[in-house]
Amino acid sequence: MLMRFKKWLSITRSQNARLLLLLGIILFNVMLWLVSSLITYLIEPDLYGSIASSLWNSGITWMLEPGFYDPSVSVPVRILSIVVIITSMITFSGGIIAYVANLFATIIEGSQKGKNSIFIYNHILILNWNSKALELIADYRFDDDTTDIVILSDYDKNIVEAQIKRKIYDVKEKSLFKKMHIIVKEGDVYSTQDLDNVSLGSAKTIIILADEEKNAEERLDNPDILQIKSLMLIANCILKPEQTVIVEIKNEKSLTLIRDKIAREHNLENQIIPIISDEMLGRLIAQTILYPRLNQVFQELLSFEGMEFYSIKQGDLDAVLKENPYLIPAFSLNEVLYVLADSEKKLNAKRLEPFSLNKKIKIIKERKYPEHSVVIFGKNNKLPYIVDSLSWFEKDADTKVNVTVVPANDPETIKTHLAGIDRIDTILVLSDDGLDTKDYDSDVLVTLLMIQDLAKSHNAKIVLELLNPKHYDIAKSYNIENTIVSNQYLSRIITQLSKNRDLFPMYYELLTYDADNSSHEIYVFPADTVIAESFPVTFSSFAELINAIYYGSRQEYMPIGVIHDNVLDIFSGDLDHNKKIVIEATDDLVVICK
């Protein structure tokens, strides 16, 4: 019996020392009450009359009312009462107060470290922490809806919160500061309990980011193994049909593994979206090389500011164009119509009468794409996708894109690789994504200094890729308008997908060139290569311009904006609003077409 008690005592002390301490305090004071009351009765039986009376009028009174002292009783009882009062003040009042204070301190410490559970729903749950997470949070500030964000990672909660605070301060001038709750929890993304503590089952979207620091430290053969482990755990949870899981990956092999072995086996093909970040960004950069003005277009369309893409299932493009004065229908894909609108509330708006086109214009039927010469400085994981996209564009546009890759920025290497090149249209400078985060873009900024004279001598446009948005102002100080902040672009795509997973096929369509003109992309064409009229050409409204070009091109060109004097104007609001629009020959038209 004694051995069993010692075993229980040892286990309880190891597993729950706090509970054992509380039981000890209570047991000791109960014994103090009983023993002191019994001794008091034995000393003064006539005064208390019975043991029960002594229990309620002696020991318990001294313990609960430490200030009580009765000088009328005998000296032994007085001495005993003093002993009980002092002992109970230390063990009972002091012990309970210390225990409760320690319990409160534990609760506060747990809250400060983000280890307590939280009840929340319809929130965005971000697992792991990297530089893209800050851009995600920054872009959600422009969302029309109130967005609650919960972050779970094993990073120090105070450090993460400090980074978020600085980022929000940087963007506060650009946002309306809409109400948004950001909750940081410190825990293990591979723990079911920690996932339950952040209300995994009630999240609208779960975003699994790459843990870049761990990948670098552990030198993993598969850079996506940590994300895959998280996804395996989440896939075995009971996910609701409306929940979306977005996974950031680097390796194409991981794509097959996720789609065939995880999503398919758990019937989650429509809910799990694996994004090869390098591929998506590489294809976006390739399009910006060919059409530098697209950088402005993507910045607006991939943000919650201004016009955004929405999906309408079973929507008819021509019907929407005629009936809704707030939408620009882009194209249909897999029985889904993708449209541009400045608010989801406008998706069901209707004209009192269908739009009637009175103005007709002539459109140039043949498109000619001039030969393009590109010089790329630096290498990173996006480079193969950039070169691949440029190759597909050659076939799509029946033209030639000459690509020269310069692996280093020292003068001798530049001279060697550029020998014999007499024409450069665009210079792309890639950022080394293998550097530590504190060293991001250092190579780009040094190269920028090295190529200034080269760009001027060829009158070439410079496209910079940056990883850290803080360096954007440095690039602008050198009049580099076409600066692509990769992490920012990817984060914006993820934020859009977190609100509507049906947009993923559309983004892949827009960013992918093909060889048979079957996919849609966004182009920026000089107005005089599209419109076969005498300039300037005037329109009475955005709706008239859109319909005139769309139907004039036999439903090939869908105009969505115009660039005049380097200022981009994406058509938005009430497209029927009576407003004189003048298109000059020097303007650029932003169109979606095959």
| Mean pLDDT across 250-256 | 86
- 292 with 480: CB under 8 angstroms? no
- 448 with 503: CB under 8 angstroms? no
**Confidence bin at 434 (pLDDT 50/70/90):** confident
Q: Which of 59-63, 218-222, 557-561 tops mean pLDDT? A: 557-561
- Indicate whether 113 pLDDT > 60: no
Q: Which CATH superfamily is domain 372-510 in?
A: NAD(P)-binding Rossmann-like Domain (3.40.50.720)
**Greater pLDDT, 210 or 481:** 210
Q: Which two tokens stand for residue 152?
A: 């779970």
Neighbour count for residue 281 (Cβ, 10 Å): 25
What 3-state class would DSSP assign to 178? coil
- Indicate whether 176 pLDDT > 50: no
**DSSP-derived pairing of the beta strands 537-539 and 401-406:** unpaired
| Mean pLDDT across 145-165 | 85
**Can you give the pLDDT at residue 442?**
84
**Can you give the pLDDT at residue 521?**
92
**Can you give the pLDDT at residue 16?**
62
Where are the chain's structural domains? 17-112, 124-270, 372-510
Residue 574 dihedral angles phi and psi, to the nearest 5°: -80, 105
Please list the helix, strand and coil fractions of the chain in percent, rounded to the nearest 5, in that order: 50, 20, 35
pLDDT tens-digit readout, 278-326: 999 999 999 988 888 898 899 888 887 788 999 998 889 999 999 999 9
| CA 283 – CA 323 distance, rounded (Å) | 34
> What's the whole-model pTM score?
0.77
**Can you give the pLDDT at residue 177?**
47
| Omega cis (within 30) before 536 | yes
Q: In angstroms, what CA-CA distances link 25 with 7, 13, 28, 36, 587?
A: 20, 14, 5, 16, 83
Residue 326's Cβ-count burial label (10 Å; 0-12, 13-18, 19+) is buried
Alpha helices in 398-485 (DSSP H): 411-417, 442-450, 452-458, 472-477
| CA 13 – CA 236 distance, rounded (Å) | 35
CATH level 2 (architecture), domain 17-112 = Orthogonal Bundle (1.10)
- Indicate whether 413 pLDDT > 70: yes
**Can you give the pLDDT at residue 233?**
92
- Indicate whether 65 pLDDT > 70: no
Q: Which two tokens stand for residue 16?
A: 């729950």
What 3-state class would DSSP assign to 73? coil
Q: Which two tokens stand for residue 515?
A: 């060889």
**Can you give the pLDDT at residue 245?**
95
Count how many Cα atoms sit within 13 Å of the Cα of residue 564 in the half-sphere of its side chain: 11
- Mean predicted lDDT score pLDDT of the chain: 83
**Can you give the pLDDT at residue 343?**
87
Q: What residue type is assigned to position 517 of the chain? A: N
Q: Which CATH number fits domain 124-270: 3.90.25.10, 3.40.50.970, 3.20.20.70, 3.40.50.720?
A: 3.40.50.720
- 198 with 125: CB under 8 angstroms? yes
| Mean pLDDT across 425-437 | 83
**Greater pLDDT, 514 or 258:** 258
> Percent of the chain beyond pLDDT 70?
84
**Can you give the pLDDT at residue 213?**
67
CA nearest neighbour of 80 among 43, 129, 108 = 43
**Can you give the pLDDT at residue 114?**
52
**Greater pLDDT, 408 or 558:** 558
**Can you give the pLDDT at residue 143?**
73
If residue 561 lies in a helix (H) or strand (E), which one and from where to where?
A: strand 558-564
| CA 424 – CA 402 distance, rounded (Å) | 9
Does 372-510 match 17-112 at the fold level? no
**Can you give the pLDDT at residue 481?**
67
| CA 570 – CA 593 distance, rounded (Å) | 16
| CA 470 – CA 463 distance, rounded (Å) | 17
**Greater pLDDT, 577 or 47:** 577
DSSP string, 481-504: -EEEEHHHHHHHHHHHHHH-GGGH
pLDDT tens-digit readout, 524-574: 999 999 999 999 999 999 999 999 999 999 999 999 999 998 899 999 999
- Indicate whether 249 pLDDT > 70: yes
- Indicate whether 331 pLDDT > 80: yes
Q: Which of 6-15, 128-137, 251-260, 584-593 tops mean pLDDT? A: 584-593
**Can you give the pLDDT at residue 68?**
58
